Structure formats: structure tokens, C-alpha cells
Amino acid sequence: MLRADVRQPGRYVVTGRIDDARGRPFALATFNEVLGPGPNDIKLVAFGKLLHDGKAALPLTLRDVDGYLLKENADPDRELMPRLEGKVLTSRSQTLKGISTAEWTSEERQRYLTEFAKDRKLAGENLAKFDPAQPLPASACETPAR
């Protein structure tokens, strides 16, 4: 978690690169929220399932943090925050125990998945119309039943 003394409230977008203990680039942590004036916490998020699936070696290191304030109806449309180059933070955790394995969920992700399912269904219907005798190809993008 980073601290920022916000002088201009608004929507801030911040990203930072995460390396594992072996120095292997591992993830891009993100933050995209509205911040009010004064001291604020910026919680850069990388999901636990990613850490488990990728077998990250802990501790993790956050480096090269970039951020900006989005400005509506202005040109330029963003104001850059000072870049934090190199190592910024190192995690305290030495094991993956206690880190969630839950799959990431959000309203935006669900909206994209719903649209993708519609597109996939429409493509399948168009393929069936094109050659009704040919079976549809198997999809590597099937969502598991819940």
C-alpha cells in the first residue's frame, strides 16, 4: 500500500510492476479509484489466484510505479504523478498461506463475459447456417459450469 497526499481530488489511475523473490517480472498491480483531498492509501491490487497459479516466490517487490489524475473535459486529459522508479516496496509475507485463491470478480468482468458469450453464440449460429452438416468446432473458451 502506498500513501499519497492528494492536493487535487479526482480519479487516479496507478500501476506498478511486481517481481517475485527470484527477480522474475510477475504481475502488473493496478489502482483506479476516486481519491479525496489529503492523505490517502493507494492499494495496488494483484489477485491471489494469480500468485498461486504462477507459483510466485515470496516476498514480492513492487517497482516502477506510474500514476495520473484523470481530468474530464480538459486537454490534456490527465495530470501525471511523479514516477517512483526502481524498488518501492517489498511484501512481508514469506508464504502463500492465507492468500486467497478466489477468482477475480467485478461488474466490469461479468459485463465483458456476458458480451463474449453473446458473440460466441452468434458466431456459432452463423457457422451452423454456413454449413449445417458440419459440427461446430470445440471451444477452448468454454466457461466452466458453476
pLDDT of residue 145: 52
Q: How far is 12 from 17, CA to CA, in rounded Å?
A: 17
Q: How far is 117 from 123, CA to CA, in rounded Å?
A: 10
**The C-alpha cell that represents 48 in the structure block:** 491471489
Q: What is the pLDDT of residues 40-94, one digit of tens each?
A: 999 998 888 888 888 888 899 999 999 999 999 999 999 999 999 999 999 887 7
Q: Which alpha helices (H) appear in the chain, and where do they start and end?
A: 48-53, 107-130
User: What residue spans define the domains of the chain?
Assistant: 2-90, 103-132
Q: How far is 4 from 39, CA to CA, in rounded Å?
A: 6
In the block, which residue shows the cell 473535459? 73
**Does the domain formed by 2-90 have CATH 2.60.40?**
yes
Provide DSSP, 79-106. Answer: EEPPPEEEEEEE----SSTTS--PPP--
